[in-house]
Amino acid sequence: MKHFLQSARFKKYAKRIAFFLLGLIGLVLIASGALAFYFNNNKAEIVSKINNKINDNISGTIHIGDIHYKFLTGFPNLTLALKEVTLKDSLWVQHKRTFLVAKEIEVRLNVMNLMSDKIDFHKIEINDATLDLYNGPNGITNTDIFRKKPKKEEKANAKTTMIDEISLTNVHFISENKPRNKLFDFEVMALKAKINYDGDNWNTNLFVETNVKSMAFNTQKGSFAKDKRIRGIIAATYKSDQNKITANVDGLEIGGDKFDVKSSFDVGNKPSANFLIEIKTKILWKDATNLLANNISSKLKFYDLKKPIDVTCILDGDFNSEGDPKINVTAVVKNNELQIPDGFISDCSFNGKFTNIFKEELGCEDANSAVILKDFKGAYNKMAFVIPNAMIHNFDKPVATGILNADFEVEKLNSIINADLMHFSNGQAKVDFKFECDIVDLYFRKPKFIGSVRVANASLKYIPKGLHFEKTNIQLDFTEQALLIKKFAFKDRHNTVYVEGRVDNFLNLYYDAPEKMLIDWKIYSPSIDVKQFIGVIAATQKKKQVAKKTANGESFSDQLHTVINKCQVVLQLNLEKLVYGKLTASDAKATIKLTNSNVTVHDGFLKTSGGTVAFSGVLNPKGNKYNLQSSAQVNNVDITSFLTSFNNFDIKSFDAKDIRGKLTTKANIGGVMDSQGNLVPKSATGNVSFKVNNGALVNFEPIVKIGKFAFPFRDVKNITFSDLSGNLVLRGHDIDVLDLRVSSSVLNFDVEGVYSIGNNTNLAMTVPLRNSKNDAKLATKAERDAIRNRGIVLHLLAVDDGGKIKIKWGKKDK
């Protein structure tokens, strides 16, 4: 190789090549010099031709500050630099919006065509310029600068101007349509395109790098891709027979994310300027939200997805029409985590669609916008659910509708219910709902449901009332007219209860007027402890419920607790067995109404102590106790058993076992009941009338004491009587005995006065001394009354003496 380079033959050829290159360079320099000479000698004519060419295609004025020839640039074409170029339309004095202001426009002309009086632009390069397209009110516009002139002004041999290459550097592009509220504002850092012509058609690969200041299809609703950079190579094609430009690009960079874009734009002298843009990408939710107009992004920014999602967006509109284009966005989400204002939804998958033209006839408006979800799956606080179909429509006043299915362990409810209200354990819940709810400030408000809830074998504690339910089963059916409670069964330590119920107009009253809500319960139980039931009511008064607030105001727990406290409840009781302290009854029935913690009992009935009791009453809360007003009709009960059931009404002077017989009584009694359902001692007031049939007094202390004093030879420890009746007034500590009539086998006597549970006893007794053993044999009451007070009659007083009863002579008030 070394010998070849040093050979005479190589040197010969090298010298020829060097001369050729030098000659070529010299030729270029001479040609360029010739072009410069031609320009300098024909500058005025060339400038005139350029002006004429431009003026042939505009309706306005152009001002060029200066023109320079660029030596060697674009050889063999003639490259000129137009300095300080200003282009104005004929209506500039009205709108003051200059169509084009450029520091420099570089044009490259075909020299051969120029010499034959033709102007063909091989290349146009615009640097440091502002291009402003303006449509103002009342039809004022600066874009008519390109309106064609009348045919009589056109030259017969005029030809279409061809531009082979376009380059923009630092060009501020503005397109504003005020009547249509549209504003497109781009800072074009670079745009380069070489155009290939095929007859009237053309195509190009256009490189663009620009910052978006505004891409507002409706300025009142904000801009798309605001302050984002767009960069990529766009394959653009023009079809003259369709008057349409298509522009497609793979990997277009917008704000750091890559997009595949297909688009088409109608051009030409048409009243409409339709466009269709399809965008596909895989993007993070928050990044996609930042590309949307403010009226959409302001609502979506409070949601987020952890992983990127597949998104397709289609914009279909008309640049010349008012309002937004049609916007359809579809997204595919798989195994993602969705953040919502109320928390997170894990394992989230769905197919979603946004449209701003849900109903074609209503146009592109927020009120006609909708988000449509299909096959939504996820878990909220570990509670799995499925939404086969859902929609959020009317973005002015958003409403969410859909279908919800869920199947989860009941204890997972603890994560959304305040621990001071309820606590769940065990059990399974199944939910099937059609729902509808308002969305206010991005939170779901007043959801309404139609469907069912099933709960099986659940255990729960209701903290405010101290309740603990086990093996609870619930079936709730929500309809438009009512909430139906079916197959509600629960157990606690003492009771097994089966419940059915109904709440009319539930969906409206729950949120707007819980105090008007009437829950109609039908309750059956084989056995129930009434004291525990009363304790449940009283327990609410002990501690005011305090629940944590969420960002959207009242929490679910707050709302539920408010409804429980304010609603009215009617209980239709049907109990096989009823226990109240020492009282045991069967076949108990009653209607109980609960209103604002007040308890009203109607049509009460039960069987006990061999007889029946009909009753009614009212309990009013007062602190942790209740004021009681009641009435009762007792028929033919065993008096011993009956008094034992009520602790002998706190009477200490005799035991319930001392009196026997069948009691019939009518009572209207008030008093105070404690939180355990016990009558507070010495609180009873009211009227009592009673009668005992086939009675007997066995070791009845008041009579035994009188007998020892007055009838030492009669058996006063075992007295049978045909008549034992009386009327009493209860006054707390004292009992006013209006009349007490005893007709017995030992003696007859009448009692009136005050019997005191305290130290205020003062009873006046009228005791005939005659032996009444055979009085029962008389046929009529009139006969018995006629002989009742014959003979010697004693008048005695039974008075309190230091806590003991003292018998003495005397009459009442003497």
The pLDDT score that the predictor gives to residue 303 is: 83
Q: How many domains does the chain have?
A: 1
> Looking at the domain assignment, is residue 425 inside a domain?
no
Look at residue 759 and tell me whether its pLDDT is greater than 90.
no
Give the Cα separation of 83 and 322 in Å (integer).
Answer: 38
Q: Which range is least confidently modeled, 61-70, 98-107, 286-295?
A: 61-70
pLDDT at 248 over 90: yes
Give me the phi and psi of 95, to 5 degrees please: -105, -15
Average pLDDT over every residue of 114-118: 51
At residue 791 the predicted structure's pLDDT band, cuts being 50, 70 and 90, is: confident
pLDDT average, residue stretch 744-768: 82
Q: Bigger pLDDT: 650 or 174?
A: 174
CB burial string 535-564: b at 16+ within 10 A, e below: bbbbbbbeeebebeebeeeebebbbbbbbb
Kindly write down the DSSP assignment for every residue of 171-196, as one continuous string.
EEEEEEETTTTEEEEEEEEEEEEEEE
- In tens, the pLDDT along 450-462 reads 888 888 888 877 7
Of residues 182, 439, 433, 189, the one with CA closest to residue 318 = 182
Q: What is the pLDDT of residue 54?
A: 67
Distance from the Cα of residue 52 to its chain's centroid: 68
Q: What is the pLDDT of residue 544?
A: 43
3-class DSSP string for 561-573: HHHHHHCEEEEEE
Question: Between 29 and 465, where is the model more confident?
Answer: 465
The answer to whether the CB of 132 falls within 8 A of the CB of 97 is: yes
**Within a domain: 192:** no
Confidence of residue 670 (pLDDT cuts 50, 70, 90): very high
According to DSSP, residue 596 is labeled T
Identity of the amino acid at 116: S
pLDDT at 490 over 60: yes
Indicate the pLDDT class of residue 234, thresholds 50, 70 and 90: very high
Q: Residues 785-798: what's their mean pLDDT?
A: 80
- Residue 25 — pLDDT band, cuts 50, 70, 90? very low
Tell me if 795 is assigned to some domain: yes
Tell me whether residue 755 is in a domain.
yes
Q: How far apart are CA 506 and CA 504, in angstroms?
A: 5
Q: What is the pLDDT of residues 423-473, one digit of tens each?
A: 888 889 899 988 887 776 656 667 777 888 888 888 877 777 667 777 788
Is 717 domain-assigned?
yes
pLDDT digits (tens, 9 = 90+) for 281-291: 999 988 888 88
Name the least confident of 217-221, 523-527, 696-700: 696-700
Question: Which pLDDT band holds residue 264 (cuts at 50, 70, 90)?
Answer: very high
Mean pLDDT (the chain) is 79
In a domain? residue 543: no
Q: Residue 30: pLDDT band by 50, 70, 90 thresholds?
A: very low
pLDDT at position 546:
44
Residue type, 208: V
The mean pLDDT of 610-638, rounded to a whole number, is 90
Residue 641: inside a domain: no
pLDDT of residue 539: 46
Q: Report the pLDDT value the prediction gives residue 269, as an integer from 0 to 100.
A: 65
In this structure, of 29-33, 263-267, 415-419, the range with the lowest mean pLDDT score is: 29-33
Does 782 have pLDDT greater than 90? Answer: no
pLDDT for 144 beyond 80: no
pLDDT computed for residue 8 by the predictor: 60
Would you state the pLDDT for residue 684?
87
pLDDT value at position 171? Answer: 94
| Cα(352)–Cα(313) distance, integer angstroms | 12
Q: What share of the chain in percent tops pLDDT 90?
A: 19
Check residue 543 and give its pLDDT: 44
Is residue 446 helix, strand or coil?
strand
More confidently predicted of 369 and 2: 369
pLDDT at 298: 80
CA separation for the pair 163, 195 (Å, rounded): 7
Q: Could you read off the pLDDT of 675-733 as tens digits, one per residue?
A: 777 778 888 899 999 888 888 877 777 667 766 766 677 777 777 877 778 899 988 88
Structure tokens at 762: 């003062």
Residue 694 lies in a domain: no
Task: Find the mean pLDDT for residues 543-552.
Answer: 44
Q: Is the pLDDT of residue 172 over 90?
A: yes
User: Which of 353, 351, 415, 342 lies closest to 377 in space, CA to CA?
Assistant: 351
- Structural domain boundaries enclosing 714: 699-814
Q: What is the mean pLDDT of residues 503-522?
A: 78
Q: DSSP characters for 393-427? A: E-SSS-EEEEEEEEEEEGGGGGGTS-TTTEEEES-
- Retrieve residue 605's tokens: 């009935």
Q: How confident is the model at residue 631 (pLDDT cuts 50, 70, 90)?
A: very high
